Structure 1
Amino acid sequence: MQLELSRVVHGTARLGVLTGLGSTGQHSLDVPCCLLYTHFGTVPHLTQDTLHTISSLPFVTQHQDVLEEFKDGLKKFAGLRDTALFCSLHDPAAPCPTGYTTNKTVSVWGSGGRIEMSVAKFMALQKVVQPDWYQSMADGETWQINASRKRVRKSVDRTLAHLDECLLLHQKSQELDRVSMFGVVEGGDILEERVRSARETAKRPVAGFCLDGFQSGAMDPTLRIQLISAVTKELPEDKPRLLQGVGRPDE
């Protein structure tokens, strides 16, 4: 994956092309762009008759054993061969219960309830999904406005530790040779922790960055803009940045 910039305005607004996507590197995306939201590779808003036939949409983690047996990745499994596929840790369109992360695990939520993920299990999942890129495992439970400074700092520390473990396993995996990893920037609503998370994540050999914790709508819009601006100043210009569920495309 490579970001080819054609224009940068005021050091923040960037125009270019994200190239080298897909197993053979033949796909590309114009940036800035919006990714189509899917739930386990399915677009929830197709047609009314199709929508009424879907009672619940499973998470990728609920089909890990099926994908392991299938062996050809989620794109072929879901009929999305000619697309670029990003695998997020959580569903950005649905709030996740808090209080279930540890120094070694995070929890994701499916129709069957909580699924605890270690780094090893998370990376095993990426091997069978075979996305074009994915975000590293992260502690993103500090999006609430009442999160303490101590809790936010712990979130940043955990996320960096998870990133280092994910990178180690990623570099050892032949299945992920053409897959890119995005580091996750946490920090809640505390400017110093946002900047620290961005600086430390930028030191790692990641392909891009996922700015997490802005999708809940609980954060004051002015503060959100201030934090995003401070974070992007710490990130290299030649790598892409991803915001999930932050608002409408025209905002």
Structure 2
Amino acid sequence: MASSRMQLELSRVVQGGSRVGVLKGLGKTGQHSLEVPGCLLYTPFGTVPHLTQDTLHTMSNLPCATQVTLSNIAEHQEVLEEFKDGFRKFAGLHDTALYCSLHDPATACPTGYTTNKTVSVWGSGGRIELTAAKFMALQKAVQPDWYQSMADGETWQSNTSRKRVRKSVDRTLAHLDECLLVHQNTQELEGVGVFGVVEGGDILEERVRSARETAKRPVAGFCLDGLQTGAMDQALRIQLISAVTKELPEDKPRLLQGVGRPDEVVACAEAGVDLFESFFPFQVTERGCALCFDFDISPDPERAGRAPPAVLELDEEKDTAGETQQNGDLNREDQTQMTSFEISLKDKRYQDDLRPLVEGCGCYCCRNHQRAYLHHLLVTNELLAGVLLMIHNTTHYHGFFAALREAVASDKLELLKRRLLGDGGRQAGRKE
């Protein structure tokens, strides 16, 4: 069976880890390429929340790779098998590469349901238990360009015992071997890439063992799991990622699951991560908030700077967001809390504010509407609020990734970090 067409071409690797380059050979005919560090378009089930395909296509600079999750697709297995032409065509996703992950990064998963033979996902109808055979039958029906292998990812809580963590690494490797065996004998998955999953909880030796063993298998890339926001503090996350990436081949992509906050993204990219999931703009939208942080690293700070007024204004609002920003990480259950990268349009102060969400932002929302209008839509529970916020938040977030790539390529990561954290304002004391 032909191996995956996916190829990572790096143009720069910075001492210490950060990489910039292009992931080529994506899509059924290998026509798509994705710049790294980059992120995938987040969709629970083939559509970006709040947005129609038509609205989505009016937006520029979106990634050419879309994430879908088995937690949403598994209950529709029979329909997809009957349809026969794969999920991309089923969902009307024409010009995109498709990545299929196990869980939805924006939704917390119940734990305690993994066994030696199965993993569970949660759809609208409840829990669905997947054996390797059922998991692979789903991949055959979905026909993605690449997918995450089955994994036991239930060791992200810090109180997990060393024995349980070791078991999760062993199970995940066994799942990978089983999936690869079926994959290699499935004609429909020819040219499709498998990403091996690196587990290991917060135990360095197990992380290194998981990475080393996974790298021995014929995988197209790697998913780093169990490092999501709230699972551990930033310093430990970076230590573990740095140790893992040293064990992984340089020419294969590394995708980090469950990390979306801009400051954390920059730190993880510095440690050698290539791909991220873009669920963060969705979470911000659900809070009735707008992303409003500065990532302009162009030489001239006066050139339509990205949101400096809003960033200054955030200092006042951080009081209402609690002290979570100062401490760096939130609890996993606490993903509803506002971060220092957004403003809450529900706040009364915006009811007469006639400025766009972000000065100089070129998205449809900022070109056509004011903060006061968004405030009105939110307090009257109009559906349009979610649409306009999602347009802005998605545009702003993907603009940040373009700035991140430029920063890695031109040695400006320190400048980008200063911009993100408000050029030494109240947040400067926050641990990197």
- Regarding TM over 0.5, the answer is yes
Query: Partner residue of 1:54?
Result: none
Which of 202, 207, 212 matches 2:225? 212
Which of 223, 231, 242 matches 2:236? 223
8 Å CA contact 2:225, 2:256 repeated in 1: yes
Instruction: Specify the code of the residue in structure 1 equivalent to 2:228.
Output: Q
Q: Decide whether aligned partners of structure 1 residues 164 and 132 sit closer, same or farther in structure 2, where only a CA change above 3 A counts.
A: same
Counterparts of residues 15-164 of structure 1 (less than 5 Å)? 15-46=20-51, 59-164=72-177
8 Å CA contact 1:95, 1:216 repeated in 2: no
Alpha-carbon distance between aligned partners in 2 of 1:250 and 1:84, rounded to the nearest angstrom: 27
Q: Decide whether aligned partners of structure 1 residues 134 and 99 sit closer, same or farther in structure 2, where only a CA change above 3 A counts.
A: same
Instruction: Specify the code of the residue in structure 2 equivalent to 1:17.
Output: V
Query: With structure 2 as the length reference, what TM-score do the two structures score?
Result: 0.55
8 Å CA contact 1:109, 1:115 repeated in 2: yes
Query: With structure 1 as the length reference, what TM-score do the two structures score?
Result: 0.93
Alpha-carbon distance between aligned partners in 1 of 2:109 and 2:259, rounded to the nearest angstrom: 16
Alpha-carbon distance between aligned partners in 1 of 2:16 and 2:246, rounded to the nearest angstrom: 8
Q: SS at the partner of 2:10? A: strand
Q: SS at the partner of 1:201? A: helix
How far apart are 1:62 and its partner, in Å? 1.1
8 Å CA contact 2:28, 2:97 repeated in 1: no
8 Å CA contact 2:222, 2:255 repeated in 1: yes
Which of 7, 12, 18 matches 1:2? 7
Query: Partner residue of 1:53?
Result: none
Q: Decide whether aligned partners of structure 1 residues 127 and 34 sit closer, same or farther in structure 2, where only a CA change above 3 A counts.
A: same
Structure 2: gaps of 5 or more residues? 1-5, 56-70, 265-432
Counterparts of residues 169-248 of structure 1 (less than 5 Å)? 169-248=182-261
Instruction: Specify the code of the residue in structure 2 equivalent to 1:213.
Output: G
Task: Tell which deviates more after alignment, 2-11 or 177-186.
Answer: 2-11
8 Å CA contact 1:144, 1:218 repeated in 2: yes
How far apart are 1:171 and its partner, in Å? 0.6
How far apart are 1:6 and its partner, in Å? 1.1
Q: SS at the partner of 2:39? A: coil
Q: SS at the partner of 1:103? A: coil
Aligned residues: 242
Structure with larger Rg: 2
Instruction: Specify the code of the residue in structure 2 equivalent to 1:32.
Output: P
Percent of residue pairs bearing the same amino acid type: 84
More strand by share: 1
Instruction: Specify the code of the residue in structure 1 equivalent to 2:208.
Output: V
Instruction: Specify the code of the residue in structure 2 equivalent to 1:99.
Output: G
8 Å CA contact 1:143, 1:216 repeated in 2: no
Alpha-carbon distance between aligned partners in 1 of 2:204 and 2:93, rounded to the nearest angstrom: 39
Structure 1 runs (4+) deviating above 4 angstroms are none
Alpha-carbon distance between aligned partners in 2 of 1:218 and 1:248, rounded to the nearest angstrom: 14
How far apart are 1:11 and its partner, in Å? 4.9
Structure 1: gaps of 5 or more residues? 51-57
Query: Partner residue of 2:417?
Result: none
Query: Partner residue of 1:165?
Result: 178
Q: Decide whether aligned partners of structure 1 residues 249 and 121 sit closer, same or farther in structure 2, where only a CA change above 3 A counts.
A: same
Alpha-carbon distance between aligned partners in 1 of 2:248 and 2:229, rounded to the nearest angstrom: 23
Q: SS at the partner of 2:21? A: strand
8 Å CA contact 2:23, 2:36 repeated in 1: yes
Q: SS at the partner of 1:175? A: helix
What is the CA deviation profile of residues 120-155 of structure 1, one whole-angstrom value per residue up to 9, with x for unaligned ones?
000010011011110000000001111100000000
How far apart are 1:37 and its partner, in Å? 0.9
Alpha-carbon distance between aligned partners in 2 of 1:19 and 1:227, rounded to the nearest angstrom: 27
8 Å CA contact 2:101, 2:147 repeated in 1: yes
Q: Decide whether aligned partners of structure 1 residues 250 and 83 sit closer, same or farther in structure 2, where only a CA change above 3 A counts.
A: farther
Instruction: Specify the code of the residue in structure 2 equivalent to 1:21.
Output: L
Alpha-carbon distance between aligned partners in 2 of 1:78 and 1:245, rounded to the nearest angstrom: 24
More helix by share: 2
How far apart are 1:13 and its partner, in Å? 1.1
